[in-house]
Structure 1
C-alpha cells in the first residue's frame, strides 16, 4: 500500500497532524506539493513569492535528508491524475483540511474526485487552527458573532496536544522523484538567494518562538501597540506557511506562569480561530459586507487617492510610514493595519475590498480569514466590528503610539530632520521651519490629501444614509 502526503500550508515535519497519521498507518509514503493554477495571483507579488520561497526551503531541507518532495503542477484534478498514472499502487491520500474560503471548496471537490475517479481514499485532519469552526457555538448551536463570548467559551475548551516528530524515518519514504519541477518553483519564489532561504523553515520558526517567549512575551500587552518597538511575536509569516504549528505555539506559551502578556497573546490566537469560524459561516465575506445595512455605502472610490494611499503619499506621516513599511518589507504592524484601513475606508471613503485585495498582494503573512475580518472590522461592515462612527485620527494616533516619531522617520527619511511635534502633522510647518528642516511641503513631502475632520463627518453621513436604504 502506498499513501500520498499532500502538503499545503503546513510546511513542516514536527506536529503535522496529517503526516503523523500517514506515518502511523502506511509503510510507504510519497510526499507532494501541488502548485495549483487557480491560486496563482500575481507572480511578482510579495505574498506569492514569500510563500513559494518557504516551499522551496522546505523542499531543499528535505532533500538534505535524502527525501523527495514531489512538485505537482496544475489543478488538483490534472496533477493527481498524472500522479496516479505514474503510481498505480497509490491507495490513500492524507492532508490537513481547510474549513473556509477557497481551500474548503477545493477540498470538498477533490475528496469526491479522489474517491470516485481515482479510487483513492482521502483522510482529512484539523491542523490549521486550535479549534474547528464548529467547536465553539452558542447553546443553540448557532455561531457567535461577538468575539468576547466566543473567547470565553474557547478559553475553557481543552486544546489539542502536540504530535512530536522531529525527523522522518527514511525507510518509510520513497526517494524516487515522480515529478520534479525545481525551475518553476524557483521562478514562483522570485529566485531567492541562500541567505533568504536560511531565514525560513521550521528551525527558524522555532528560534523565533523561543526568542519571543524569552524577550517579548512578558511585556507583550504593553509593547505590541508601538510600531517602533520589537514588541510583536514576528511569528505570523511562519504560521501562514505552517512552518510552525499553532499547537506548538499555544502550548509553549500556555505552560508558562500566567501573566498579562501571556493572556493577551493567547487571546490573539483566539482571534485567529474566531475569524476562521466567521469566514466559514459567511463564505461570501471577501466580496460582501456581513452587515446588511452597510452593503450600500456610497463609496467615493477615487483612484488617484487610492494610488497615493498605496504609495504612502497621503500627507499623514503615520499612514505613509505604515504603507511604505508594507511595500518595503511585505509586513505591517498590526496597530498600523487598523489605522491605514480606517483611513482608506473612512477618511478617503474607498471600498474596503480595494484595500483587502492590495494587502493580499503584499502581505507575506496573508491569511484570508484574518485579513478579510480585519478589513471588515475597520470598515464597520463585519461581525463585532468597530462602530461606524469610530474613526481613528491619524495625527493623534501617531502621537500616542509613535511619541518620538522614530517609526515615522525610519520609513519617511524626508522628515528625519524635523525635531518638534510637527513631525506628526508636517502641514503645520512654517516656511522658516520648512527651510530649517529641509522639507518643502508639496515637493519633499505632500500636503494632506484630505482634511480629517471633514472626512470624518462625510463618512458618518455616508454610513447613516446606507442604513436607511
Structure 2
C-alpha cells in the first residue's frame, strides 16, 4: 500500500505534523509538491521566492537520500495522473488550509480522493490555534482583537514535534521527469534578483539571531524602519520552512520581558487574521464593514502608478515602496503608512494596493495582508477609525527622525539637510541646488496635499457610512 505526503506551505522535514504521521503510519511513501500554474503571478517576487524555496527544499530532500516528486498542472488532473501511474496509492497526508484558495482546493480534492478510495489524513499545522478553536461566550468567532488575545494567551500552545525520517520508506524513482524540468525552468525564468536565503537552516539561523541580538529591544526598536529591530521570520513562516510552534517555543523559553510579551502578541495577530479570513471568506474582494462597501474611490491610475514606483513626493512613502520593489520586503510600520496614504490620501481602492503587495512581497500571507489593508482602509473588523488618517510627514518625523532610511532608498535626497528631508519641497531654489536635487524634476513634488486629502477622505467615508 502506497501513501502520499502532499507538501504545501510546510517546506520542512522537522516539526511537521502531517509528515510525522505519514512516516509513522505508511509502508511506502511518496513525497510530492504540486505546482498549479493557475496560481502564478506574472513578474512576481512573491511567486519567484516561493518556488525558489520549493526548489531548495527539493534539493534538501535529495541530500537526505529521498526524492520530492513534482506534479505540474491542474491539481485534479495531476493527481489523477499519479493515481494512474501508482494504482495502489491508497492514502494521502497533508496539512490542511481553512481559508482562501487553499480551502477551495482541499474541498475539491477531498471529493477526488473519496471518489478514488484514497483515505485522507489532514492536520492543522500552520497556526498555533485553528480558526474555530477560540470563540466568544456566544459560540461565535471574535471580531475584536483584544478579547480574542485575552483568551488566546491563556490557552496552552502546541510544542515542536519530532519527525522520524525513514528514508527506506520513500519512493525514490522519479515519476514525472518532465514536471521536474518545468519546476527548474520556472525557477530559472523567475530570476529572483534579490538577497534571498531559503531553507530551514537559514530560518533557524534567523530565529537565533533575532533572539540573541534583537529580542530584548524588540518593543522599542520594532517600529524603526532603519533598524534591524524585527524578527524577519515572516518569509520563512509563509513557506513553512520553520514552524510557528518552533518560533513560539524558542521565544517563550527566553526570560520574561515586555519585549518578549510584545513579540508573542504579534504571533496572536497572525492567528487572529487567519480566524477573520475564515469567518469572512469573501474579504479579499469585499469590505467586511458593509457601511464602507460602496466608497466612491477615486482610483486615479497615474497616482496609483506613482505610488507603486515610489514617486509620490512624500519621502517616507516613496522610500517604503522602493524598499519593497527592490527587496521584496517592507517594514510593518511602513506597510501601515503606505496603505493609509493610498487609501486615504489618494482615495484609491484598498484592493488594488493589496494585490500589488501580493505580487511584490516575498512574505505574502493572504490573511495578514488582507487584514492589514482592510485595517488601514477602515473597512475591516477592528480597523483604524475612518477619521484617523496617517500624516506621512509626521509619521516619518517620528519613526525616521534623521531621515537615514529615506536617504537609503531615495539617493536623490541623500544630501538634503535633516530639516527638509521629510518635506524637501519646502527648500528654496538655492537650497535645492545646494542639495543637488531639483524638486519637480529630480524628485517629484507632492502629488496631493495631505490636509486637503484628509478632509476629502473623511467626507467620502462619512457619505458612504450614511448612505
Bin the TM-score by the shorter chain.
Answer: over 0.9
Partner Cα separation in structure 2 for residue 421 and residue 396 of structure 1: 13
Partner Cα separation in structure 2 for residue 397 and residue 40 of structure 1: 35
Alignment partner of 1:173 out of 152, 157, 170: 170
Deviation at 1:198, TM superposition (A): 8.1
- TM-score normalised by the chain length of structure 2: 0.98
Which residue of structure 2 aligns with residue 422 of structure 1? 420
Which residue of structure 2 aligns with residue 401 of structure 1? 399
Partner Cα separation in structure 2 for residue 364 and residue 249 of structure 1: 19
User: Unaligned stretches of 5+ in structure 2?
Assistant: none
Alignment partner of 2:290 out of 282, 292, 296: 292
Which residue of structure 2 aligns with residue 275 of structure 1? 273
Q: Deviations over 1:259-303 (max 9, x none)?
A: 111111111110000000000000000000000100111110000
> Is the 1:96–1:126 Cα contact (8 Å) retained in structure 2?
yes
Deviation at 1:62, TM superposition (A): 1.0
Partner Cα separation in structure 2 for residue 198 and residue 345 of structure 1: 30
Which residue of structure 1 aligns with residue 52 of structure 2? 53
> Is the 1:147–1:384 Cα contact (8 Å) retained in structure 2?
yes
Deviation at 1:241, TM superposition (A): 0.3
Which residue of structure 1 aligns with residue 248 of structure 2? 250
Secondary structure at the aligned position of 2:4 is classed as strand
- TM-score normalised by the chain length of structure 1: 0.97
> Is the 1:54–1:197 Cα contact (8 Å) retained in structure 2?
no
Deviation at 1:67, TM superposition (A): 1.1
Deviation at 1:195, TM superposition (A): 11
> Is the 1:51–1:189 Cα contact (8 Å) retained in structure 2?
no
Deviation at 1:37, TM superposition (A): 2.6
Deviation at 1:319, TM superposition (A): 0.2
Partner Cα separation in structure 2 for residue 400 and residue 390 of structure 1: 17
Q: Deviations over 1:328-373 (max 9, x none)?
A: 0110000000000000000000000000000010000000011000
Q: Does 1:41 align with 2:41?
A: yes
Partner Cα separation in structure 2 for residue 215 and residue 141 of structure 1: 42
Secondary structure at the aligned position of 1:72 is classed as strand
Alignment partner of 1:358 out of 356, 359, 362: 356
Partner Cα separation in structure 2 for residue 72 and residue 346 of structure 1: 44
> Is the 1:48–1:189 Cα contact (8 Å) retained in structure 2?
no
Deviation at 1:439, TM superposition (A): 0.6
Partner Cα separation in structure 2 for residue 208 and residue 383 of structure 1: 32
Partner Cα separation in structure 2 for residue 460 and residue 193 of structure 1: 43
Partner Cα separation in structure 1 for residue 161 and residue 25 of structure 2: 15
Deviation at 1:61, TM superposition (A): 1.2
CA distance 1:198–1:332, shift in 2 (3 Å): closer
Runs of 4+ residues over 2 Å off in structure 1:
180-183, 186-198
Q: CA RMSD in A?
A: 1.5
**Residue correspondences, number:** 466
> Is the 1:48–1:188 Cα contact (8 Å) retained in structure 2?
no
> Is the 1:57–1:197 Cα contact (8 Å) retained in structure 2?
no
**Equivalence map 1:219-238=2 (5 Å):** 219-238=217-236
CA distance 1:147–1:198, shift in 2 (3 Å): closer
> Is the 2:222–2:229 Cα contact (8 Å) retained in structure 1?
yes
Deviation at 1:420, TM superposition (A): 2.6
Which residue of structure 1 aligns with residue 211 of structure 2? 213
Which residue of structure 1 aligns with residue 7 of structure 2? 7
CA distance 1:360–1:194, shift in 2 (3 Å): closer
Partner Cα separation in structure 2 for residue 82 and residue 271 of structure 1: 40
Partner Cα separation in structure 1 for residue 96 and residue 410 of structure 2: 43
Secondary structure at the aligned position of 1:424 is classed as coil
Q: Does 1:103 align with 2:105?
A: no
Deviation at 1:187, TM superposition (A): 2.9
Partner Cα separation in structure 2 for residue 112 and residue 47 of structure 1: 30
> Is the 1:49–1:190 Cα contact (8 Å) retained in structure 2?
no
Deviating more after overlay: 172-181 vs 289-298: 172-181
Which residue of structure 1 aligns with residue 65 of structure 2? 66
Deviation at 1:189, TM superposition (A): 2.4
> Is the 2:91–2:118 Cα contact (8 Å) retained in structure 1?
yes
Partner Cα separation in structure 2 for residue 420 and residue 99 of structure 1: 48
Secondary structure at the aligned position of 1:463 is classed as helix
Deviation at 1:468, TM superposition (A): 1.2
Which residue of structure 2 aligns with residue 390 of structure 1? 388
Which residue of structure 2 aligns with residue 131 of structure 1? 129
Which residue of structure 2 aligns with residue 144 of structure 1? 142
Q: Deviations over 1:427-469 (max 9, x none)?
A: 1011110011101011110000000000000000000000111
Deviating more after overlay: 342-351 vs 176-185: 176-185
Partner Cα separation in structure 1 for residue 28 and residue 429 of structure 2: 75
Partner Cα separation in structure 2 for residue 339 and residue 452 of structure 1: 13
Partner Cα separation in structure 2 for residue 253 and residue 211 of structure 1: 12
Which residue of structure 2 aligns with residue 442 of structure 1? 440
**Equivalence map 1:71-110=2 (5 Å):** 71-110=70-109
Partner Cα separation in structure 1 for residue 288 and residue 194 of structure 2: 39
